[in-house]
């Protein structure tokens, strides 16, 4: 190798290293050469269609997506001793979404560029052509259809006549490599690369946060993909932390007024950290389970495991502690025996049902059953009527309705005398003493509330 060629090669490699980043240019260690990844500038709203002519990839037969980036064209090269004075670089050209015929055309054009620039360094003109002119040179427009043979790369290297037809194989350049094994692998590669490049581009751009009104790089911001709004991580972190601590896990959306875009779990985790994210994840799961009519919680305070109730019944069995319980009263399952439901539970269930909209009523009827809901409503109506129209015996608790008569009542359940006005028990030997005692609050009120033409001395009662 002449000194001039050696210096020209070294200068060219140094120039490439200064122009392109480490992600784009990788210089070889053992010999003069390297690898260059050429990422094309695609038109906006560039649409890609991937088709496979094999049954194994039938899932991708109709794959269609709009992308901003496609995987790069990879130029591997080695500089021979006679370069650039007499000999061109040795190279291969590989790509996942260009066919061998398309890559062959590019290889031939690189050879033509060498002939035009013989005696001069040619790598930079090659790169510029691949980056800026590939789409026009190959007449690639949107929508761009990519057809992948059933066996990927092997199908055309091993059986070219079957794949491309007789007589076409000699026209394919051995330096042209379609580096893909299947349509499904190509789809994954396209989507992953497009997402990675979009994030790389986003991270390097400045954005204005509409909360703190400061301009920050995208690497310090969060991007809501559905609405395209961007906020800085510091502001969004504080906003999300407050919402999670308050239990508002369904409110982790874009702060823009009237915007409904939801933050992804990955975005939430990156912003609030592992500990607070665990709380968010737990509350989100719990709120989702609460919306399921066939899911209840184990009533044991030490368990509280979500439990699927038995279809069409009121029994549920906890999968953790094996507790079989009634979903109505939360006590041990009692079969056909009536629930020992407290008045408070009935009131709560009735009020929840009456206050709910149509969807809420259907949800409660599905969870507890229409019969149980109807029973709760009817029993509460009966209890409200009893509270308004009767009083309980102070001894046995029997509901007594006063139909007429004086205020000295006799319980039909236990035959205890009691005062209708203050519910005090009365002396069995002299029940009227209560009304004749000046110190009593009911003094001279034995006939209070009775019409003047009535002369009852015993309260007429009805046992309810």
Residues 138 and 15 occupy one common structural domain: yes
- Among residues 257, 274, 290, which one ends one of the domains? 290
Task: Confirm whether 406 is a catalytic residue.
Answer: yes
Give domain status of residue 407, yes or no. yes
65 shares its domain with 159:
yes
Q: Could you tell me if 30 and 63 lie in one domain?
A: yes
- Tell me, yes or no, whether 192 lies in a domain: no
Are residue 257 and residue 299 in the same domain, yes or no?
no
Model pLDDT, residue 57: 47
Boundary-marking domain end, from 259, 290, 321: 290
b/e string for 169-190 if b means 16 or more Cβ within 10 A?
A: eeebbebbbbbbbbbbebbebb
Q: Look at residue 456 in the predicted model and tell me its pLDDT.
A: 42
Contact 205, 217 (CB under 8 A): yes
Same domain for 167 and 28: yes
Catalytic residue among 209, 326, 329, 406: 406
Coil, strand, or helix at residue 63? strand
**Which domain range does residue 10 map to?**
3-180
Whether 411 maps to a domain, the answer reads yes
Residue 195 belongs to a domain: no
In a domain, 187, yes or no: no
Whether residues 263 and 377 share a domain: the answer is no
**What's the predicted TM-score (pTM) here?**
0.57
pLDDT at residue number 12: 93
Write down the pLDDT at residue 455.
Answer: 46
164 in the same domain as 253: no
**Consecutive 10-residue averages of pLDDT for the chain (464 residues):** 87 93 90 93 91 57 85 94 93 93 94 92 94 94 83 41 44 87 87 92 92 92 90 92 84 86 88 87 77 78 82 80 83 76 65 77 68 66 75 87 85 88 87 87 84 46 41
At 287 the pLDDT is 75
**DSSP-derived secondary structure for 101-163:** HHHHHHHHHHHHHHHHTTTS--HHHHHHHHHHHHHHHTT--SSEEEEE-TTTHHHHHH-HHHH
CB atoms closer than 10 angstroms to residue 263: 19
pLDDT at 463: 41
Domain-embedded: residue 189: no
170 and 105 inside one domain: yes
- CATH number of the structural domain spanning residue 17: 3.10.110.10
Continuous segment of H or E residues that includes residue 50: strand 46-52
Residues 84 and 15 in one domain: yes
Cβ(416)–Cβ(393) under 8 Å?
A: yes
Residue 14 C-beta-side C-alpha neighbours within 13 Å: 6
Domain count, the chain: 5
Residues 303 and 285 in one domain: no
Q: Are residues 271 and 308 in the same domain?
A: no
Query: Are 398 and 460 within one domain?
Result: yes
**Is 196 inside a domain boundary?**
no
Q: Which residue has the tokens 């901003």?
A: 68
Give a yes or no: residue 198 inside a domain: no
- Residue recorded with tokens 């719990």: 286
């Amino acid at each position: 190798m002449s000194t001039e060629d050696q210096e020209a090669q070294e200068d060219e490699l140094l120039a490439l290293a200064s122009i392109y980043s480490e992600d784009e240019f990788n210089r070889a260690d053992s010999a003069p050469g390297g690898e260059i990844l050429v990422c094309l500038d695609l038109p906006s709203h560039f649409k890609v269609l991937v088709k496979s002519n094999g049954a194994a990839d039938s899932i991708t037969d109709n794959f269609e997506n709009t992308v901003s980036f496609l995987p790069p064209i990879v130029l591997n090269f080695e500089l021979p001793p006679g370069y650039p004075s007499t000999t061109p670089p040795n190279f291969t050209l590989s790509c996942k979404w260009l066919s061998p015929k398309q890559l062959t055309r590019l290889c031939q054009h690189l050879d033509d560029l060498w002939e035009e620039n013989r005696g001069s360094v040619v790598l930079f003109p090659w790169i510029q052509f691949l980056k800026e002119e590939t789409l026009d040179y190959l007449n690639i427009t949107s929508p761009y259809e990519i057809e992948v043979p059933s066996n990927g790369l092997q199908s055309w290297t091993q059986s070219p006549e079957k794949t491309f037809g007789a007589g076409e194989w000699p026209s394919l350049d051995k330096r042209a490599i379609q580096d893909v094994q299947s349509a499904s692998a190509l789809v994954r590669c396209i989507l992953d690369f497009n997402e990675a490049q979009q994030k790389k581009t986003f991270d390097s751009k400045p954005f204005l946060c509409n909360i703190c009104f400061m301009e920050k790089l995208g690497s310090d911001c969060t991007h809501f993909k559905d609405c395209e709004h961007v906020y800085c991580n510091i502001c969004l972190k504080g906003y999300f932390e407050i919402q999670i601590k308050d239990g508002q896990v369904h409110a982790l959306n874009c702060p823009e007024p009237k915007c409904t875009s939801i933050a992804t779990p990955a975005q939430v985790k990156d912003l609030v950290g592992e500990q607070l994210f665990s709380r968010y994840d737990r509350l989100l799961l719990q709120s989702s389970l609460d919306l399921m009519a066939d899911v209840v919680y184990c009533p044991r305070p030490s368990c509280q495991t979500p439990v699927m109730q038995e279809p069409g019944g009121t029994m549920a069995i906890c999968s953790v502690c094996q507790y079989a319980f009634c979903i109505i009263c939360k006590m041990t399952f009692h079969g056909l025996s009536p629930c020992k439901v407290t008045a408070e539970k009935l009131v709560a269930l009735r009020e929840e049902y009456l206050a709910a909209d149509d969807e809420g009523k259907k949800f409660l009827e599905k969870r507890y059953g229409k019969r149980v809901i109807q029973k709760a409503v009817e029993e509460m109506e009966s209890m409200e009527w009893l509270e308004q129209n009767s009083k309980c015996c102070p001894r046995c608790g029997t509901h007594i309705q006063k139909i007429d008569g004086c205020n000295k009542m006799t319980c039909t359940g236990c035959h205890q005398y009691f005062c209708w006005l203050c519910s005090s028990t009365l002396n069995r030997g002299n029940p009227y003493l209560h009304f004749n005692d000046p110190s009593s609050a009911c003094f001279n009120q034995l006939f209070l509330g009775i019409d003047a033409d009535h002369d009852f001395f015993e309260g007429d009662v009805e046992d309810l």
